Amino acid sequence: MSDADERFATNHRIAKTARQGRSLLIVFFLILHFSGASQALEIVDIRPTVVRGTFVSSDAATQLAATSNYDPVGMLSINGNTASGTLIRSDWVLTAAHVISNSAGHFDLASATFNVGGQPMVASYAEVHPNWNGDLGSGFDLALVKLAAPSASITPASFRDAPAQLTGQSITFLGYGQGGTGDSGTIPDSAGVKRAGTNMLDTDGSILGMSPYIYMSDFDSGSSSDNSLGTSTPTEFESVLAPGDSGGGVFMTVGGSTILVGVNSFVASFAGQANSTYGNIAGFVSIQPHIAWIDSIAHAPEPASIVLGLIAGFVIWRAIECKSASTRKSAGKGQTGG
């Protein structure tokens, strides 16, 4: 090998080593940043009152919520507390597990009603996701509420055909309850109004040690100082979740159709102040990984229907048996008489 070739090979090895070093250094700082952020992340259970923190006017948020695409989102009232849910079948409502159960198997449906389209409907029972254990970061904060009677006036939300990749997508999310601003947070005693907001799904939960079934959006003001995730540019109706927005629907436009892709779950903060102000983070549970569970529950008949079905089946069986016995008896008489 010539001296020139040897110098070239040596310089190539040095450059390669330098590139590897820079790459390792970048990875190190990313791990350091997100491990520190994860430790400082304060997640707040957003029960019991719905709050919308937004820097857009309350009227604009209300008008957006009144769009017919979001008619299936209604107010879920349980034991005097307010939450939200979305009608996905004529008699089934999808909501967050923690609004009715703080731990698996403990339901709270006393005097529960679901008001959708101005029509209050009685809730009869609920099914909580079997993997829900009270951990808001688990990605299983889902429940289905069975209505005592179906809704005849509201078309249920479509929840299939969502994109496989949700990160970076624009969303609209809705809920009932208190309003507010990004500067000061929530406004007391302003609940009971259906509001909508928009945001970007900046990342999934795995980057912060949570479930990849969770997607997160931060509340941007336009200032880099308030930016926690993704770009600092706010969307048209930039908003964040706040206490009580639990169970509301997260929607996305796919091929010209409005699709329900998630459920409001929690609000969090890197600064230890999860109070629905700028820089706070909203956490949503993706529906797509749970469609099989939703179908297994929402397609199943309610317990009373099963009992009635068994009774009806027995009555029909007895009628067939009696008719068969009568036919055999008549045939026997005919043979004897011949």
pLDDT in tens, 39-57: 334 444 333 333 333 334 5
Q: Which residues of 214-251 are buried (b: 16+ CB within 10 A; e: fewer)?
A: bbbbbbbbeeeebbbbbeeebbebbbbbbbbbbbbbbb
pLDDT tens string 136-184: 889 999 999 999 999 988 999 999 888 878 898 999 999 886 677 777 7
pLDDT at 247: 93
Q: What is the pLDDT of residue 74?
A: 94
Picking from 197, 237, 206, 232, the residue whose alpha carbon sits closest to that of residue 218 is 232
Provide the CB-side half-sphere exposure for 78 (13 A, CA): 27
Q: Is 255 left (phi over 0), alpha (psi -120 to 50) or beta?
A: left
Specify the pLDDT at position 47.
34
The pLDDT assigned to 109 comes to 76
Domains of the chain: 44-297 (2.40.10.120)
What's the confidence (pLDDT) of residue 239? 84
Residue 118: strand, helix, or coil: coil
pLDDT of residue 234: 82
Tokens 């706040």: give the residue.
242
Report residue 264: phi and psi, to 5°: -60, 130
Which parts of the chain register pLDDT below 70? 1-59, 102-108, 110, 177-178, 191, 244, 300-338
| pTM (predicted TM-score) | 0.72
3-state secondary structure of 71: coil
Tell me the two tokens of residue 24: 């390792």
Q: How far is CA 163 from CA 52, 211, 322, in A?
A: 26, 18, 56
pLDDT at 135: 86
- How far apart (Å, rounded) are the C-alpha atoms in residues 239 and 170? 12
HSE of 165 in the Cβ direction (CA atoms, 13 Å)? 3
